[in-house]
A and B are shown apart, each in its own frame.
Chain A
Amino acid sequence: MPDTGYLPKEKVKDFIRELAKDAIVHVPCLEGETVVFRPFSEDRELCLERPANTPPKSIIYPQSETLFSFEHKKDPEDHQKMSVELKVDIDAPGTVIFGARPCDARGFVIYDRVFIDTDTPDPYYKKRRENTLVVTLSCAAPFPGCFCVGVGGSPAGKEGTDAMLTEIAGGYIVEPVTEKGKAILNKPMVEDGSTRLKDAQQAQQKAHEAVKNPFAGGMPNISPELFDADPFWEQALSKCVSCGACTYLCPTCYCFNITDEQVYGKGERIRSWDACMFFHFTLEASTHNPRPTKFQRFKNRVGHKFVYYPEKYEGAIACCGCGRCIRYCPVSVDISEIVNDLGGGGKKEQQPAGSAKND
């Protein structure tokens, strides 16, 4: 079996149908003007031309999920006595994410450290992650706001990916990354792509060079003095409306809330995405709030991604540079600009990653 496959463009749908035989295949679909991941069905309009507006994070880490259900029961012998029954049912069917971008896949690696590589792994995330195959599509060109190369990624980065497609003339080169990913080369629609791998590599290189790196030194370099200077945040965030959209669209944000819902003695404990951008997120019952202002909250968001997370995980940055928070912010807050400014006012004009470094 060759190491590299080739999927002709006209067979993409057949290939998805083939994958859908034994898994739920989530594909980027055009709905009105937005691209979102949906379980594949014949009536969907597949869209591989641009990154989805929302990342595929909800497929492995749902926006809302039941941790367990509970039921209060009366003791049949003694009606004064109640008992409680708890039930856990982790729903993790075989799943394929098809057409995620490398930044999206990298987001899962950032989650893996938090949800799996800990002394208290999260069984819900872990089970879904294990049952999901991630087939990414490398980016041919950057989109507005993209800055993956500034945070150690690449439009053809393979972290978190099981197999990667790269568009070349007439179709896609299929590069397996993991054992799990290798299996898709066996699908009948996939031809031998070995001889054309170099075309894909050239396309990948070209794409990498086209992505702008917003950071003056090539990588974020946060000055602790500026990071702790309140006026910096007040100035940088004056326009932020604390809507939290950036966190919901972020492939690396994972803050959550846990709440109970019940009707007539039966109910569920539910975990739902939450956002550190909200006032009530840290509000204590005593009315004390450790992060009462939007400046402190945004500082925490930037801090978590570029300072605190790297402190915990050997320098790894918890931002994949997908640019969604920049593209979709209603008031155009630009995290890459803020992080660059935190470097002490380095050069602000954006430089393509491939061009000579400006000293």
Chain B
Amino acid sequence: MTDIKNPYLPELATVLRVIEETPNIKSFQVLFNDPEKMKGFTFQPGQVGQLSVFGAGESTFVINSPPTRMEYLQFSVMKAGEVTAAIHNLYPGDQVGIRAPLGNWFPYEEMKGRNILFIGGGIGLAPLRTLILFMLDNRSDYKDITIIYGSRTPPDLCYKDELKEWEERSDVNLILTVDNEYPGWTKRTGFVPTVLKEVAPKPDDTVAITCGPPIMIKFVLEGLAQLKFRDEDIITTLEKRMKCGIGLCGRCNIGSKYVCKDGPVFSLAQLKEMPDDV
């Protein structure tokens, strides 16, 4: 047999830095142990990776640092199950495994020269962050950039330093919201889909990219339709339980499409062609 690459075998990597984003979300900056691998590694904004803690297992996360900033790869992880709990126990210097890049990516080439509207909720900002930073690193390629981002409470907002930075930039329009009033919070309150209606961005020459909890996505999609966005101009990136990451193991399929391989990025136009078990 000719030697083929083993798609299940992770590349060893070391945790460089751990950032506590929120009470239950941490970001992990990692480096491949093999410097050659790190140097040769390429990926596209929106692609995901399988992060392993040997002995606990592996889970899929988007690489949320952009390919324009290759000092490390960053994954943000919400503590929700066994593997994510093991990941949350990692400290700088700990060994992990990475299988990446997997899946497809945001069609950023087709977004060039257009207005960009990001709509995120909670940890759903992670995949958007990759594209936001990528676009900010190629700022002249895109027109207006608007970001609507919300979480349950102010402490639940991810990437607080960057939010501050984006808020201060004149070439980014950042709109933050939290579900309810909160001591010290002076910005908007209300669910993300409600705020989207209030802000009512114009659909003209605009691409909307959204990610968040399924229920938020559902109402954001409805909101965008009411604002007359075209299905082709609405992009989302899906979350599913995944294991193999290469379209084999059978759990992340929506009809004949595997979210891990044919996705995770889909336009609303594509989703409408697919069965509804999202």
Contacts and interface: CB of A to CB of B under 8 A. Distances in A.
Interface residues of B, number: 42
Contacts of B9: 67-68, 86, 88
Given A258-B8, A260-B54, A80 B93 contact: yes
Interface in B256-275: 256, 275
Given A120-B7, A291-B277, A114 B248 contact: yes
A286 B8 contact: no
Given A86-B10, A126-B1, A307-B255, A258 B54 contact: no
A256 B244 contact: yes
A276 B95 contact: no
Interface in B216-256: 239-241, 243-244, 246-256
Interface in A268-291: 269, 271, 274, 276, 281-286, 288, 290-291
Interface string B78-93: 0011001000000001
A307 B256 contact: yes
A290 B240 contact: yes
Interface stretch (A148-156, A187-195, A296-304, A320-328): A296-304
Interface residues of A, number: 54
Given A88-B9, A285-B84, A257 B248 contact: no
A300 B277 contact: yes
B4 A123 contact: yes
Given A127-B1, A283-B241, A267 B250 contact: no
B55 A281 contact: no
A282 B57 contact: no
A67 B55 contact: no
Given A72-B95, A83-B95, A123-B6, A255 B250 contact: yes
B16 interface: no
Contacts of A260: 54-57
A223 to B, nearest CB: 15
A282 B239 CA distance: 11
Given A81-B93, A257-B243, A303 B278 contact: no
A122 B7 contact: yes
A118 B84 CA distance: 30
Interface string A58-71: 00000000011010
A259 interface: yes
A122 B12 CA distance: 20
Given A67-B8, A70-B54, A285-B81, A122 B255 contact: no
B155 interface: no
Contacts of A80: 93
Given A68-B8, A83-B95, A122-B7, A276 B251 contact: yes
B243 A282 contact: no
B58 interface: yes
B107 interface: no
B248 A122 contact: yes
Interface string B84-109: 10000000011101000000000000
B256 A308 contact: yes
B250 A254 contact: yes
B251 A281 contact: yes
B38 to A, nearest CB: 17
A296 B277 contact: yes
Given A70-B55, A312-B256, A256 B243 contact: yes
Nearest to B84: A285
Interface string A70-88: 1010000000111110101
Nearest to B255: A308
A82 B239 contact: no
Contact of A267 (B55, B241, B255): B55
Contacts of A271: 8
Contacts of B57: 258-260, 269
A311 B94 CA distance: 44
Contacts of A285: 80-81, 84, 241
12 contacts: A67-B8, A72-B95, A118-B248, A120-B5, A254-B250, A255-B250, A256-B244, A257-B243, A274-B249, A282-B240, A284-B239, A290-B240
Given A127-B1, A130-B1, A312-B256, 10 more contacts: A67-B8, A82-B93, A88-B6, A120-B247, A123-B7, A256-B243, A285-B81, A288-B213, A290-B254, A303-B275
The 7 A-B residue pairs whose C-beta atoms are closest, nearest first, are: A285-B80, A255-B250, A285-B81, A308-B256, A262-B55, A120-B7, A311-B256
